[in-house]
Structure 1
Amino acid sequence: MSSKQVKDVHEAVADIASGSSLAVGGFGLCGIPDALIEALAESGVDNLEVYSNNCGVDGVGLGVLLGLGRIRRVTASYVGENKEFARQYLSGELEVELTPQGTLAERLRAGGAGIPAFYTPAGVGTPVADGGLPWRYAADGSVAIASPPKETREFDGRRYVLETGIRADYALVHAAVGDTQGNLVFDKTAMNFNPLAGMAGRVTIAQVERLVQPGELDPESIHLPGVFVQRIVETGPQDVRIEKRTVRDDAGVNA
């Protein structure tokens, strides 16, 4: 089997075109495919649709693309750490679909597993199921696009809402170790949404801190099999930023 390794991040994202949809791993700033995002920003593509737990922070992670005005639509479960995100959303520049975090995770997994839709109790009896969530605002602050109502159904006396699986044109993920066949190992909490995003991409691109040869990884330790990964690039150790740093004074009280 031929190697899936590409020489650098620019080659890895070279065919991602404007208007593409992206499933992006990471949670906050943990486990984000930062090098791939930076390469994508340098490529100049825009009008992107993004599926990710959040949109990074201002100037970091997906916040880079957001700050450049390259993202058209975001499906996420948390958006509270990015002021530019809030500004674009409230001014009508950005379309946003908020979804429960577990639902987003399952939508990504379902898409990767070939499951078109599934029922979940999360969101029943709320605007998530009933519709009316503002996806996009108009410049005057009115709601330009609202979420539609979703199908609900009763199973064993409890109501569930139908959610669709996610398939993206591309997926960008970060892993600690990978081999040239695309098998990936994630490090602790940096696993987060990465395997799920990786499953959901029609073309999945992985940046890894360390690249090894086939057979060097214990098969039992692989978190995402190479069948889901089309390209892999070695980027070296990641410079991890902390979103909110808290310290303790000498009395042991948080400062």
Structure 2
Amino acid sequence: MDKTYASAGAALEGLLFDGMTMAAGGFGLCGIPELLIDAIKAAGTKDITIASNNCGVDDFGLGVLLKTRQIKKMISSYVGENAEFMRQYLSGELELEFNPQGTLAERMRAGGAGIPGFYTATGVGTVIAEGKDVKVFNGREYILETGIVADVSIVKAWKADPSGNLIFRKTARNFNVPAATCGKVCVAEVEEIVPLGSLDPDHIHLPGIYVHRIVQGQHEKRIEQRTTRKKEQA
């Protein structure tokens, strides 16, 4: 089955609706589905709840959807590097559900595995635990966290074959795998589509059964914070 589409907009056609829940891969600006994000902006979809480690920066990544006020709620573990995120949250314009990073990754993984909830010690005794069920196992308290199931997942991969088998490159693998699995429909943008059968099965990070649509494109690959050393004097 060939799952390739001609453009990011075409790959998202028929999937977007106001008030939807979305899971997005990426960590900072590494491995983010930038083309799909731009296509969502162009579609004008509103009141989106997005589960993602962070929300990009002010003018790139998910940050562009904040700027256009298309995001209603973020489920995230880190909100730094984005002044508009801070402004909208502090002014009450944006809902925010904080999750410890490992908990967020496991909530996505659990949702993709069909697990409705799990208990974790992370967050016990903090505001994270407020309103959540608490149980004691072996003398230690754990809180109940629920799995995330999104209407659509958007992810970024390095290579794909036409059936949707994906390979991620190094740290760009990050949240992309759990985000991909927890979507009812997963759309992946990739740098390269290779012929069917050319990927070593042992090198595939995400089987095509989880991926419904793929699109190839050119990517900007920004560096979130560039740190350089002063030139040494001869």
Task: Report the TM-score range of the alignment, normalised by the length of the smaller protein.
Answer: over 0.9
Q: CA RMSD in A?
A: 1.0
Name the residue aligned to 2:200.
218
Q: Structure 1, residues 9-68: CA drift from partner, whole Å, max 9, x if none?
A: 111112211111110000000000000000110111111110000000001000011100
* Residues 101-112 of structure 1 mapped to structure 2, 5 A cutoff: 101-112=101-112
Identical counterparts, % of pairs: 53
Name the residue aligned to 1:205.
187
Do the aligned residues in 2 keep the contact of 1:14 with 1:43 (CA within 8 Å)? no
Name the residue aligned to 2:34.
34
SS in 2 for 1:153: strand
Distance 2:118 2:49 in 1: 22
Question: Does structure 1 residue 21 correspond to structure 2 residue 21?
Answer: yes
* Residues 1-255 of structure 1 mapped to structure 2, 5 A cutoff: 2-15=1-14, 16-129=16-129, 131=130, 149-236=131-218, 238-251=219-232
Do the aligned residues in 2 keep the contact of 1:174 with 1:207 (CA within 8 Å)? yes
Q: Structure 1, residues 190-242: CA drift from partner, whole Å, max 9, x if none?
A: 00000010001000000000001221100000001111111011113x22111
Q: TM-score w.r.t. structure 2 length? A: 0.97
Structure 1 runs not aligned, ≥5 long: 132-148
Do the aligned residues in 2 keep the contact of 1:108 with 1:165 (CA within 8 Å)? yes
SS in 2 for 1:104: helix
Distance 2:135 2:118 in 1: 11
> 1:251 deviation in Å?
4.9
SS in 1 for 2:171: helix
Structure 2 runs not aligned, ≥5 long: none
Query: How many aligned residue pairs are there?
Result: 232
